[in-house]
Amino acid sequence: MKAAADSYDQMGRSSVSISHPYAKVLRSGIYDQEHSSYHHLRGCPIRMRTAPTPPLQVLPSPPFTMAAATISTIITLPNLPKVIHIRADDPGAQYHPLFSLPDADVVLRSLQGTLYRVHSFTLRMTSGFFETMFSLPQPKTHRPRRDNLDTTKTEAYPDALDVYENDFPLERLLRLISGLPVPRWETMDEIERVLSLAEKWDTPGPIASIRSALNSHRFLHDHPLRCYALATHFGWKQEAKLASTHTLTLNLYDSAHSSIIDRLSSKDLLLLLNLHRRRRDMFRELLNSPERFAAGNSSPYHCNRCGVTELDNHTWRVFKSAMFVEMERRPLGDTLGLTVGEAAGWPEAIACWEAQCTKEGCGGLNYDRIATLRQIRACISLLPLTIED
């Protein structure tokens, strides 16, 4: 494989394009916040930029004598689009305050132009991506032509590596691999963006660290489906099971969830749909059981008070239908079987509890409300709570 090639422009300036396949990922794997998507380095689709992107630019490395927090001319091929030129007098080029130690030997540059000085040793030890990249022949052996090149600035400043990443995920990931404190995760977007980059750079340490955030009740409660999508994507069984339980508050067929559903593999989606379906089917079966609900489901069943009238179970059947619909909407079933709350006030429920024996002078209630509600709750407690192994 041709690992690197020197190029020179009309001014005799040089740039080196690394042709390692990961370099393509480095510049093309742009996180798409609008769709909250993340990309998998191996196998999964990577959202490509619509416009062609320039090759990764790595400069010939001068002796490292960086002192000032500015960078000299970043040498690039001038006819390539989307190449950021940062010059010594560029006021926008500055180092991130946490990553400006002068003895660090690699400078990474974000899409916003922020510079991050990092030890190559740190990158190599924590990232499979950089380990591979640094194992390639380094461009230091390809020196620019000195005769017509102004080297005063390039000798004074180090290489800058365009990583085509935004500041936020870049800073967070560099904090993680450098052992610096990491602020609390505020949103799922934050987690997804940093995980995306951590995966792209193959950094198992940060990925393991971020994994624990998926056990946070806050994220599980607010974004169960996104937690499930992340957990299944990374093959985290326990987190996926926990998240699957929290998805039981959702109707997966609601179009509001389609963008996240689309991110699931068919296998993981099927596991989740099966859990929801098993709960509904089991609940229906239990609710139709004559052993559990003798008065409503046995036929014939006679009035408990007079022992004469055969019960008309119409109201119980209507109430059961309403509960089935509720389980479709919210398979957790936590709204059912309660003496208070919205479901307790349903007309179907009230009609059921008010149904009486039709025999003149009897007036016995068809059903024991408290015992029936308790039995409904018992049925719900028997339903499966997580996806199957």
Interacting residues toward Zn ion by CB under 5 A: 303, 305-306, 309, 357, 359, 362, 364
Beta carbon of residue 303, minimum distance to Zn ion (angstroms, whole number): 3
Per-residue HEC secondary structure of the chain comes to: CCCEEEEECCCCCEEEEECCHHHHHHHHCCCEHHHCECCCCCCCCCCCCCCCCCCCEECCCCCCCCCCCCCCCCCCCCCCCCCCCCCCCCCCCCECCCCCCCCCCEEEECCCCCEEEECHHHHHHHCHHHHHHHHCCCHHHCCCCCCCCCCHHHHHCCCCEECCCCHHHHHHHHHHHHCCCCCCCCCHHHHHHHHHHHHHCCCHHHHHHHHHHHHCHHHHHHCHHHHHHHHHHCCCHHHHHHHHHHHHHCCCCCHHHHHHHCCCCHHHHHHHHHHHHHHHHHHHHHHCCCCCCHHHHCCCCECCCCCCCECCCHHHHHHHHHHHHHHHHCCCCCCCCCCCCCHHHCHHHHHHHHCECCCCCCCCECCCHHHHHHHHHHHHHCCCCCCCC
Beta carbon of residue 293, minimum distance to Zn ion (angstroms, whole number): 19
Pick 368 or 388: Cβ nearer Zn ion: 368
Pick 218 or 314: Cβ nearer Zn ion: 314
Pick 261 or 365: Cβ nearer Zn ion: 365
Beta carbon of residue 369, minimum distance to Zn ion (angstroms, whole number): 17
Beta carbon of residue 282, minimum distance to Zn ion (angstroms, whole number): 33
Pick 278 or 369: Cβ nearer Zn ion: 369
Beta carbon of residue 305, minimum distance to Zn ion (angstroms, whole number): 5
Contact 52, 144 (CB under 8 A): no
Pick 45 or 300: Cβ nearer Zn ion: 300
Pick 125 or 371: Cβ nearer Zn ion: 371
Q: Is 301 exposed, middle or buried (0-12, 13-18, 19+ CB in 10 A)?
A: middle
Pick 46 or 351: Cβ nearer Zn ion: 351
Beta carbon of residue 296, minimum distance to Zn ion (angstroms, whole number): 16
Beta carbon of residue 366, minimum distance to Zn ion (angstroms, whole number): 9
- At 209, give phi and psi (nearest 5°): -70, -45
Beta carbon of residue 362, minimum distance to Zn ion (angstroms, whole number): 3
Q: Which residue, 273, 265, 266, is CA-closest to 244? A: 273
Beta carbon of residue 310, minimum distance to Zn ion (angstroms, whole number): 10
Pick 33 or 358: Cβ nearer Zn ion: 358
Pick 48 or 308: Cβ nearer Zn ion: 308
CB atoms within 10 A of CB 238: 12
Pick 21 or 363: Cβ nearer Zn ion: 363
Beta carbon of residue 302, minimum distance to Zn ion (angstroms, whole number): 8
